[in-house]
Amino acid sequence: MCLAVPVRLISIEGSVGKVELSGTVMEVGLQLLEEAAIGDYVLVHAGFAIQKVDQREAEETLRFLNEVFDVMGKRDEVR
């Protein structure tokens, strides 16, 4: 099963963006998005931002993922 996770875009340099989730920062490719701006939430899969999502949808998805992790007994939170 594949999972795309919503993360917040914090910087852009050319076609590479830095995203942040729960304090973890990573680089992602932005080649698949026509327009992305700092502060946008994007879905990331396999190292690429594949779609922009609105903030409310991103927050709902992250809340759902936290519920799943709670059921699984995981203690780390996704924010």
- Strand residue runs (E) in 1-79: 5-13, 16-21, 24-29, 41-45, 48-53
pLDDT in tens, 28-62: 999 999 899 999 999 999 999 999 999 999 999 88
DSSP symbol at 34: S
DSSP symbol at 32: T
The structure tokens listed for 74 are 């995981």
Give the Cα separation of 78 and 21 in Å (integer): 7
What 3-state class would DSSP assign to 2?
Answer: coil
Mean pLDDT on 15-19: 97
- Look up the CATH architecture of domain 5-72: Roll (2.30)
Domain residue extents for the chain: 5-72
